[in-house]
Each structure stands twice: as C-alpha cells, then as structure tokens.
C-alpha cells in the first residue's frame, strides 16, 4: 500500500480528533460506546482491505474513469454525484467545526465573515491545485506538523492530570450493547484512504493489502480511538466529559510547557490541528470537485478554457453553500447533522463496494 494512502488515512483521523466525533462517543459513554468502538475498529480495517482490493486491478485510474469504462452512465452518473455530495459534506462539516473553534478560542472578537474570508483563499487555492501537487502538500504538512502534534499527544499520556482511575471507570461500561451512531462515527475515522477514488490515477503501482498493512491500519486505529476517547476522560473526568462541547480543547489546555516559549499548549495545539484541518478540507473538496466535474462530463465539452471555467463554477457553488450553512447552523444543528452524516457513511461504503464488485466481475468476464 502506498505511503500516500497512509497519509490520507492519518490526516482524516487527526482532523476528526477535535471535531464532532468525540462528542458523539462521549454522549454514549454509558450506552455501549466501548464495545461499539471495538467492532468499528475491525470494520475499519475491513473497509480499507475492501477498498484497496477493489482498486487493485485498476492502477493509474480514478473512480470516474473506471465507472465510465465498465458501467452504464445511468448507474455511473448518479453514483458519482452521490459520492461527490458525501465528500463535499465531509469537508463542509470540518470547515464549520473549525470556524466555530476559531471564534470560541482564538479570535472571539472577530467577525464570522472575516473568519470565513480567511479560509476562502487558502482552501480555494488548495482545491484548484493539480492532484499531484496536493499529494506533495500532504507530505510537506506531515513532515512539518506531525512530529510536533505527536509530541503533544504523547505528552498528554504522561501528564499528571490524567487520572487512570477515571479511565478504569469508563472501562466498566464495556458490556453494554452497541450503538449504531457510535459505530458510524468511529468508522468515519477510517475513511481517509477512500480519497484514492480520485488520487488512484496518480498511483501507478498495483497496491496490495496483506497482514502487514492490516496490522498497521489496526495499530493506527487502536492508538487514535484510545487517544480520542480515553485521554479526555482521564483528564476531565468520566461524569463531566459528556457535557463539554469540545472536550479535546479543554484537555489540551490542561498541560503546560514550563520551559517552553509558549506555556499554554492549547495555542500550539490549535494551530497545528488547524493546519491539518485545512489540509483535510482541501483534500475532500478537491475530490468532490473532480467527482462533480465527471458527473457533468465537463472534460468532454468543447469550450475554450473549459477546465478553468468548470473549476470556477464548482468552487463558487461550494462557497455559497458553505457560507450560507456556516451562518445558519447552530451548535445543536451541527451536532445533529454530523450524526446524520456519520450514519450515512457505512451505507455509502456498502454502495461503493457493490459497484466495485460489479466492475471487477465485468473485468474478469
């Protein structure tokens, strides 16, 4: 499996560390969250195995190219449109969450319009970049940000504010029945690799997913799930954590760098995760943009500068929807709609795998 796939997977996991996923998990902490996360961990590994295996026969081809070759357009176009909507909403959900975090913790006096305006040029520039340049950007951001982010997360494990007794209390609820919303929210941590539906056109070598790759994805999943769920419980307490809007923000504010240039870690923590969130939004919207372009068959239009025009139209629509939604959505709405979105992820995955199963059978026949 290419290192790019691992980076896509990790970027999605990190971006959701302080988004809506933890709050959903904590809301069900006494109603089957732990056993559901264990089930979702194995399902997440299965999802990545199924994805890589289904694309194994198509090195150098994106999903739109594959569906155009092997499926009727009456099936391919609606499928690509639905996937485009899902990828757009995925980026939109991250965007709204991080704008809310910025307004609450970093720039409380700033106008929401100005905060949105800060995102527009950066994310737009990322979307219109060539797919290959986005992959280079992923590697650059990870080289610069990941070691520092990993340092602060690991430091949390050894801080004296973590009460492992509170973690043990949370563990006592392991025998409760599973919950579908927790399952879908945890499953979402593993869908970063699904961005290869577009980036696979740049991966020329045939990928494999064996025991080694499964163990790596499994280990990443264990670390991220344990960190996302148990560390805030250890710092904030089992009874209090479910009532906090952004538990990871308060968790990061509990540690200090006594001899550091900036003592309160929260500011470094937020800036680091903001950089990864920018990257995550850019990746998802770039994928969504490519899917919508293929739906409307823009590449075959005989119009001068059609690529630039199509990008501009799609991006303007993206931002109009994003600005309207950001201004209208409340905290409760964001939490509620995030649950609806997460609940759709396993269904979308099953739909994608059925389509790829049909395509692979046609290739062999």
Whether residue 24 contacts residue 182, with contact meaning beta carbons closer than 8 Å, is answered with yes
Helix pair angle (331-364, 33-55), 10° resolution: 40
pLDDT along the chain (365 residues), means of 10: 83 78 82 88 92 86 87 87 91 86 80 85 83 84 80 79 84 85 89 87 81 90 88 84 78 69 69 80 89 74 63 85 88 84 89 89 79
**For residue 90, with 0-12 CB atoms within 10 Å meaning exposed, 13-18 middle and 19 or more buried, which class applies?**
buried
Separation between Cα atoms, residue 68 and residue 295, nearest integer Å:
10
For 63, the token pair is 């999903």
Name the H helices within the chain: 3-15, 21-27, 33-55, 63-70, 73-101, 112-128, 131-158, 164-171, 180-188, 196-199, 211-236, 238-241, 247-252, 265-295, 306-328, 331-364
Separation between Cα atoms, residue 327 and residue 319, nearest integer Å:
12
pTM, rounded to two decimals: 0.88
Whether residue 316 contacts residue 127, with contact meaning beta carbons closer than 8 Å, is answered with no
Q: How many CA atoms lie within 13 A of 67 on its CB side?
A: 25
Residue 43's pLDDT is: 92
Residue in 340, 357, 324 with CA at minimum distance from that of residue 95: 324
Residue 45's pLDDT is: 92
Q: How many CA atoms lie within 13 A of 205 on its CB side?
A: 8
Separation between Cα atoms, residue 19 and residue 9, nearest integer Å:
16
What is the SS3 assignment for 89?
A: helix
């Amino acid at each position: 499996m290419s290192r790019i796939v691992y980076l896509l997977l990790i970027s999605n996991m990190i971006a959701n560390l302080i988004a809506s996923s933890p709050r959903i998990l904590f809301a069900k902490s006494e109603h089957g969250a732990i056993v559901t996360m264990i089930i979702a961990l194995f399902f997440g590994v299965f999802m990545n195995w199924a994805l890589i295996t289904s694309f194994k026969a198509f090195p150098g081809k994106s999903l739109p190219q594959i569906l155009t070759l092997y499926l009727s357009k009456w099936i391919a176009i609606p499928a690509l449109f639905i996937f485009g909507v899902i990828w757009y909403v995925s980026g939109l959900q991250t965007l709204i969450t991080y704008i809310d975090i910025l307004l609450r913790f970093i720039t409380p006096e700033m106008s929401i319009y100005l905060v949105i305006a800060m995102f527009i040029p950066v994310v737009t520039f990322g979307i219109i970049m060539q797919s290959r340049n986005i992959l280079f950007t992923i590697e650059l951001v990870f080289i610069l940000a990941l070691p520092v982010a990993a340092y602060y997360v690991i430091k949390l494990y050894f801080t004296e504010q973590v009460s492992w007794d509170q973690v043990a209390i949370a563990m006592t609820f392991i025998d409760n029945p599973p919950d579908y919303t927790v399952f879908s929210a945890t499953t979402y941590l593993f869908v970063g690799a699904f961005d290869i539906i577009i980036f696979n056109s740049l991966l020329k070598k045939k990928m494999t997913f064996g025991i080694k790759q499964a163990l790596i994805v499994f280990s990443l999943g264990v670390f991220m799930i344990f960190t996302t769920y148990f560390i805030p419980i250890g710092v904030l307490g089992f009874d209090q954590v479910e009532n906090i809007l952004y538990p990871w923000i308060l968790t990061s504010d509990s540690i200090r760098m006594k001899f550091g240039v900036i003592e309160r870690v929260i500011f470094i923590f937020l800036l680091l995760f903001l950089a990864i969130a920018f990257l995550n939004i850019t990746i998802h919207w770039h994928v969504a943009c490519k899917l919508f372009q293929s739906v409307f068959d823009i590449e075959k239009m005989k119009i001068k500068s059609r690529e630039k025009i199509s990008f501009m139209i799609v991006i303007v629509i993206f931002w109009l929807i994003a600005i309207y939604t950001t201004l209208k959505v409340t905290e409760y709405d964001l939490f509620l709609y995030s649950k609806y979105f997460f609940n759709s992820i396993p269904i979308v995955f099953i739909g994608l795998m059925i389509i790829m199963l049909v395509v692979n059978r046609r290739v062999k026949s």
